[in-house]
Chain A
Amino acid sequence: MQESGTEASRRLAGPTGPENGGIGAVRPDLEQIFRREYPRVHGIARRVLGDARAAEDVAQDVFVAFGRSSVPVGEAAGWLAVAASHTALNLLRTERRRRDRERRAAAGEHLPDIADHVVRATERARVRQVLGRLPRRQALVVLLRHSGLSYQEIAAATGMAAGGIGTTLRRAEAAARKELERS
């Protein structure tokens, strides 16, 4: 049986909740913000990783970190979107390094990396490869924009100047297309 939101909230706040000043103090507005922002957080991670389950894991970690933070409600959406982007991009980079190591090892034995070939054959994998190669700032802005944030919201969430968002986006999307055409 599924746990109701109220029961889960009570359990989450529990005896170590903020009202008791426990070490696990969790912000009381977590559920409300979770239900509002989860689709976007999950969506960002899924765009980066291309895998719904992996995106769920990233979203879980991001909301655990958020639950322990004191980020004001008004800044929550931007904070979560940026945290999801960075966490997923870090994971993508780690995975890419792992695959590179495996590919190098396989090359020594002259064996084709069939799995990698299959992945490369899909367009979704190509865009993730490109995303992983972009400078972090460009990748971040592209992800936030494609997740529906306005220029003002991106600027507020990242601390970048609003006047520079368009330029960063232009460079990122042009570089992404160039890479896609090359690959």
Chain B
Amino acid sequence: MRHLSAGTVQRIVDEPPAVRDTDQDHAEHCDRCRDRVTRARQDRTVLTTLWRQDDVPPTATEVQAAWTRLATHDPAAPPSRAVPVPRRSRGRRPTALVLGTALVAALGSTAAATNWFPLFQPDRVRAVSLSASDLSDLGDLAEYGTLTAPSSWHPRTVPDAVAARAATGLPVVTPSWLPRGVSGPVRYAVLPRGTASFRFSLDRAARAAAARGLTLPPAPRGVDGSTVTVSLGPAVVQTWGARDDVVPLMILRLPSPTLTSGDVPLDTLRSYLLAQPGLPADLADQLRRLPADGSTLPLPVPSSAAAVSATTLDGVPATLVKLRDGAGAAVVWIQEKRLTIVLGLISSSEARRLGTEIVDADR
């Protein structure tokens, strides 16, 4: 029997709705884990009790006095002591940069050889591992140029699988079983087709590099102002769960994304992006090792939070992602030019079982 992770024990104390039913059940029936939860509650109570005397919110008068003090502070004067500036979370943006670079990096030499820019549509997925330092070393995509995201890429609820299929043209498979802990009715939503584009600016990239004390490599002709466009959707999203804020299971399905470039041979852009000084060496190596035939969709995964492994779903290659604290798992694959992602507060074996059922239903 596998006992609860330390993180799950703590989360039962802090945010019980976010804990899977299976883990809640385990905590109730396993003497050892029940004791660990009790101990965690006691630890929390000790700290809360000791801090109670300091837990006195300032009065309205005190807030007003503090505001007056701030408002009369000389705007040109710095704080009286150093304030460590928090590192802003770069969750989605560096991922967008990596994904964008990775997509371009994965493009084939065929396009360069013919100097023609065919539609690129991968048919398999491979994880690209990102370390915490990779995330902090990378800049925002907006620092390198202009990113235009689809403005109307919002989900629209539809009543059932038939309506979802009618709206998107995608086959919709609803699993015949659900993992333990997943309950509530299945809900369907669709997203329209959308495109995101990125216009590279040499000037902006040079300024971003200079801010980090780096110098850009010489740019080939045509790179400045070149645009790469990614097309996504339409997509179907199936979700389960009794609450809106906790989704224990989600299945996302969309045509494999396509990528085009209209200004410069993609191989030129690929080589230039991989030579960027801000791109961590290990990450650049992983991207260079991707097949150069444009057939593989890189999947950025933070290595500190998740473990990745290759698997097959009844013969279809897939990528299995498992959160290191055991809280959730996902499986991702491309079959017949359709990208499917199953993810949730489920085990990796449950993710594989769901994936296998969907693969078989698609055949």
Chain A residues close to B by CB (< 8 Å): 2-3, 5, 8-9, 11-12, 14, 16-17, 22-26, 30-31, 34-35, 38-39, 42-43, 46-47, 50, 52, 56-57, 59-65, 67-69, 71, 75, 78-79, 82-83, 86-87, 90-91, 123-124, 126-127, 142, 145-146, 150-151, 155-159, 161-167, 169-171, 173-174, 176-177, 180
Cross-interface CB contact of B80 among A61, A158, A176, cutoff 8 Å: A61
Q: A8-B67, A63-B70 are in contact. Are A163 and B89 (CB under 8 A)?
A: no
Residues of A near B11 (CB, < 8 A) are 151, 166
List chain A residues, Cβ under 8 A from B136.
159
Listed by A's residue number, 8 A-B pairs whose Cβ atoms lie within 8 Å are: A11-B71, A22-B75, A31-B71, A57-B80, A83-B84, A124-B51, A127-B47, A174-B40
Going nearest first, the 9 A-B pairs with the smallest beta carbon separation are: A24-B75, A8-B71, A166-B7, A161-B305, A61-B79, A82-B86, A167-B7, A65-B83, A86-B84
For window 67-92 of chain B, which residues contact chain A by CB distance below 8 Å?
67-91
Complex Cα distance, B323 from A64, in Å, reads: 39
A3 touching B325, Cβ below 8 Å:
no
Question: Closest residue of chain B to A150, judged by CB?
Answer: B15
Report B58 CB to chain A, min CB distance, Å: 5
The residue from B10, B71, B74, B79 contacting A169, defined by CB atoms under 8 A apart? B10
Q: Are A46 and B44 in contact (CB-based, < 8 A)?
A: no
With contact pairs A24-B74, A62-B83 given, residues A35 and B67 touching in the complex (Cβ less than 8 Å): yes
A27, chain B: closest CB distance, angstroms: 11
- Interface residues contributed by chain B, number (CB under 8 Å): 68
Report B's interface with A, CB cutoff 8 A.
Answer: 5-11, 14-15, 18, 39-40, 42-44, 46-48, 50-51, 53-58, 62-91, 132, 135-136, 302, 304-306, 323-325, 327-328
List of A residues within 8 angstroms of B71 by Cβ: 3, 8-9, 11-12, 31
**Can you name the residue of chain B whose Cβ is closest to the Cβ of A71?**
B88
* Inter-subunit contact B18/A151 (CB<8 Å): yes
B325 touching A87, Cβ below 8 Å: no
Chain A residues, CB < 8 A from B54? 43, 46-47, 50, 124
A21, B360: Cα distance in complex, Å = 63
Contacts of A78 in B (CB 8 A): 86, 89
With A35-B67, A38-B58, A146-B51 known, 17 other A-B pairs at CB within 8 A are A2-B64, A5-B64, A63-B70, A64-B79, A75-B89, A86-B86, A155-B89, A156-B89, A159-B88, A162-B305, A163-B306, A163-B328, A164-B7, A164-B305, A166-B6, A166-B8, A177-B42
Q: Which of A17, A43, A142, A156 has the most CB of B within 10 A?
A: A43
User: Could you tell me the distance between the alpha carbons of A47 and B15 in the complex, rounded to whole angstroms?
Assistant: 22
Given contacts A146-B48, A151-B14, A34 and B325 within 8 Å (CB-CB) = no
